[in-house]
Amino acid sequence: MGANTLLKKPKQRKLLFSAGLSWMFDAMDVGMISFVVAALAKEWSLKSEQIGLLTSINSLGMAAGAAAAGILADRYGRKNILLWTLVIFSAATGLSALAAGFAILCVLRFIAGFGLGGELPVASTLVSESVEPAERGRAVVLLESFWALGWIASALIAYFVIPSYGWRLALVIGAVPVLYALYLRRAIDDSPRFAGIRRAPVPFKERFASVWSADHRKSTVMLWILWFTVVFSYYGMFLWLPPVMVLKGFSLVRSFEYTLIITLAQLPGYFTAAYFIEKFGRKFVLVVYLFCTAVSAAWFGFASSEGMLIAAGICLSFFNLGAWGGMYAYTPELYPTAVRSTGVGMAASFGRIGGIIAPLLVGVLVGHSVGISSIFLLFFATIIVGAAAVLFLGRETKGTELM
């Protein structure tokens, strides 16, 4: 079956598009903060350590949100938790526009991160459980492709809004998804698989034990390593992309411009991964795309000319986001329905610890005058570890029925 098969099924198409828009808003918020901190660094005279702290606070909230939402979604349903996470992060983002100081902005970004982190694993679980095996991987990668649309939207807002109207208006725009939640409440249904077990939810202690049982322990270890390395490298590299451009000598507006160009490469990265994931399997996509991400990271770190910087950034964006799509498609397939959202949420939550450490670490390294090339070599090594974990510990799930 081809990609068109999925598009001919109205209910699945509607679910994919509806969940995809919530995913897009999620990405728009994450992308927005990377541009906002670049502007705040100038307006509030923030040190590199403070920039790292602000982005790490966001990831700390995402770690808490991913774990909490995953656990709750196995008890109260994927749809209900998806709606609440959407409301939480969009409301907190809008309130962030009113922040008068660095401390209150950090608090609001933690709350926004809580909603953001919870929404992603729940949405991927919902779509994964609602699509047949032959199209499941492709559907989740296409869901993840909405992330690129959100980053493109945030880059456009940053380019056209922040220089002329300031970062506060950009964050006000980020509050729009709270209205979308009202539509989503009527537009989508819970997954049929969850509906089948809804009357007798498994207690959390049993779900936690199942995730670490002999049947799933190897997969859990592999996923936690994979999520940590991918999230660590992504948030370390991409949230620092505009500031790194400035450090390499470009103006703030110019850095936004280049970041937008680099971000556009995410879409073909997703679409090629969506094609290959059902043709060659999950492990192929993850290992190949992660290896190419690692090489691109090293290239970006050593890029000296304008053209080389953009070319390396495009490759980095293409392969890294394709790997993200593969990771979101792969993770729900490794657990049974009764504990699926818990397993996905816990892996995502552990991964977010990498998202907490990386921006802080980059801030400290930049503050101590460590070169950009050395920092990106660290990301090269980290990504290689993630690829090796999938290669040696992962099992192929292409075409298999969900448990």
**pLDDT tens string 192-228:** 777 666 556 677 788 889 989 999 999 999 999 999 9
* pLDDT of amino acid 68: 92
CB 328 within 8 A of CB 396: no
User: What digits encode the pLDDT tens for the residues 110-153?
Assistant: 999 999 889 888 888 888 888 888 888 888 888 888 888 888 88
Q: Which domains does the chain have, with CATH numbers?
A: 3-185+203-393 (1.20.1250.20)
What's the pLDDT tens digit per position in 360-390? 888 888 888 888 889 999 999 999 999 999 9
Sign of the dihedral through C-alpha 333, 335, 341, 345: negative
Q: Please state the pTM of the whole predicted model.
A: 0.81
**Dihedral angle over CA of 169, 171, 172, 173, nearest 10:** 90
Reading the block at residue 136, the tokens are 């499941």
Residue 366 to residues 51, 111, 162, 353, 355: CA-CA distances in angstroms?
11, 27, 24, 20, 17
What backbone torsions phi and psi does residue 87 show, to the nearest 5 degrees? Answer: -65, -45
Sign of CA dihedral 14, 343, 229, 108: positive
- Alpha helix positions (H), 77-101: 78-96
Lowest mean pLDDT among 92-106, 235-249, 343-357, 382-396: 235-249
